[in-house]
Amino acid sequence: KDVSEESLRSPICCIMGHVDAGKTKLLDRIRGTNLQEGEAGGITQQIGATYFPAENIRERTKEIISHVDHAKLKVPGLLVIDTPGHESFSKLRSHGSDLCDIAILVVDIMHGLERQTIESLNLLKMRNTDFIVALNKVDRLYGWKTCRHTQMKEAIEQQSKDVRNEFRMRLDQIITQFKEQGLNTDLYYSKGNIRERYSIVPTSAITGEGIPELLWLILAQWTRKNKVEKPTYSDQVQVEVVEGLGTTIDVVLVNGVLHGGDRIVVCGKQGPIVTTIRSLLTPHPMKELRVEGTYLHHKEIKAVQGIKITAQGLEHASTATGLYVVRPQDDLEEIEEKAMEDHMKSVMSRSTEKSGGEGVCVQASTLGSSEALLDFLKTPEVNIPVS
């Protein structure tokens, strides 16, 4: 059945991998931004979301991928979620992978599969999520010559024999490492049934090589699945206060529609928070939700989107939990219980642990970061009490 592009749901694509593999830098390259250099220690500490309209992706891929009919890629856009690769943030990674329909697993070609690559891989396997491997930092191969405006396949063919040999050697090692994890992978342009393997796209976040192919493959793979809208469901990923707007939360709307004036329930530090959406804001397309700036106001928003919600009483909302919409026929108490269940138990038990009131004081910019930090301080190797 032919469906209109508007009725299709945009895929949510999670970008995962070991710390410093280049996840944020790849996104920076696609957006034309420079978030990565502004991060503390160059480490991503929260989940970020960026919406790319399909039109924009077509525009970017047209030149490189000219042999296909781009109109066939029927999606309104792509919501990309950036996740932290540092070992302390496994909860955020797991939450990110919960949300996504498809993923990009970033592997540093100089390092191969690392600890959090494998952790990410296991999350994806567990949820049966399709993914594409970005074999990043190809520009670091000794003697790599940048070839702009060409497909990666040709860019590799144009390299010197030494570079091609090193590339092949590292690629083969990485394919073997994937095999050890029980997965069949190969270069995206190599022959064979693409349904029976995971594609590897060599990329460079510095030169931009391989990125059009990566974007195109994500959309093509999603179009094949051709998913249509599911019932209302949304999920909250981040809480933060934005000056001048009062308290806001950042959410990822996975399915359905949110309206201004909707009654919502979110999980809070001191119990469920029942409130009413005052405004629905989105960043401009191609801009990151976690970057402050000007926002677009909406009366209603259809999935998929990264959204900033303003409402009263959100000061103590908890991150990485669901957000529930209360419809007139719903039992509010039941929804309140649901909102509290998933996440609060673990947070509360952690913070009420007895430290005798002595220990370090923990301060972080977001609740997600503070949770990661609290977890880290508790690990046996570290074991630092928190006052």
Residue 237 beta carbon to Mg ion: minimum distance, rounded to whole angstroms: 15
Q: Is 208 left (phi over 0), alpha (psi -120 to 50) or beta?
A: left
Given the complex with ligand GTP, which of 9 and 137 has the nearer CB atom?
A: 137
Q: Which does 139 bind (CB under 5 to 8 A by kind): Na ion, ligand GTP, Mg ion, none?
A: ligand GTP
Instruction: Pick the binder of ligand GTP from 8, 9, 22, 135 (CB under 6 A).
Output: 22
Residue 89 beta carbon to ligand GTP: minimum distance, rounded to whole angstroms: 8
Under the binding rule (CB under 6 A), the answer on residue 48 touching ligand GTP is: no
Size of the site for ligand GTP (CB under 6 A): 22
Under the binding rule (CB under 6 A), the answer on residue 42 touching ligand GTP is: yes
Cα dihedral sign for 340, 346, 348, 349?
positive
Instruction: Pick the binder of ligand GTP from 21, 102, 201, 325 (CB under 6 A).
Output: 21
Given the complex with ligand GTP, which of 46 and 61 has the nearer CB atom?
A: 46
Given the complex with Mg ion, which of 61 and 204 has the nearer CB atom?
A: 204
Could you tell me the two tokens for 159? Answer: 């390299």
Neighbours of 33 (CB within 10 A): 17
Given the complex with ligand GTP, which of 37 and 63 has the nearer CB atom?
A: 37
**Can you tell me the distance from the alpha carbon of 92 to that of 319, in angstroms, rounded to the nearest whole number?**
9
Given the complex with ligand GTP, which of 48 and 76 has the nearer CB atom?
A: 48
Given the complex with Mg ion, which of 123 and 323 has the nearer CB atom?
A: 123
Under the binding rule (CB under 6 A), the answer on residue 30 touching ligand GTP is: no
Size of the site for Mg ion (CB under 5 A): 3
Given the complex with Na ion, which of 16 and 220 has the nearer CB atom?
A: 16
**Can you tell me the distance from the alpha carbon of 252 to that of 269, in angstroms, rounded to the nearest whole number?**
20
Closest CA to 28 of 291, 244, 243: 291
Given the complex with Na ion, which of 136 and 185 has the nearer CB atom?
A: 136
Q: Which does 205 bind (CB under 5 to 8 A by kind): Mg ion, Na ion, ligand GTP, none?
A: ligand GTP
Closest CA to 132 of 306, 14, 304: 14
Instruction: Pick the binder of Na ion from 9, 14, 18, 20 (CB under 5 A).
Output: 20
Q: Which does 76 bind (CB under 5 to 8 A by kind): Mg ion, Na ion, ligand GTP, none?
A: none
Instruction: Pick the binder of ligand GTP from 10, 12, 31, 36 (CB under 6 A).
Output: 36
Residue nearest to ligand GTP (CB): 85
Under the binding rule (CB under 6 A), the answer on residue 38 touching ligand GTP is: no
Cα dihedral sign for 243, 248, 252, 256?
negative
Instruction: Pick the binder of ligand GTP from 201, 205, 219, 340 (CB under 6 A).
Output: 205
Length of the chain: 387
Helix pair 211-225, 23-31: axis angle to 10 deg? 90
State which of positions 1-60 bind Mg ion (CB under 5 A). Answer: 23-24, 44
Under the binding rule (CB under 5 A), the answer on residue 293 touching Na ion is: no
Is residue 127 within 8 Å of 19, Cβ to Cβ? no
Neighbours of 302 (CB within 10 A): 17
Binding footprint of Mg ion on the chain (CB under 5 A): 23-24, 44
Binding footprint of ligand GTP on the chain (CB under 6 A): 17, 19-25, 36, 42-44, 84-86, 136-137, 139-140, 204-206
Binding footprint of Na ion on the chain (CB under 5 A): 20, 42
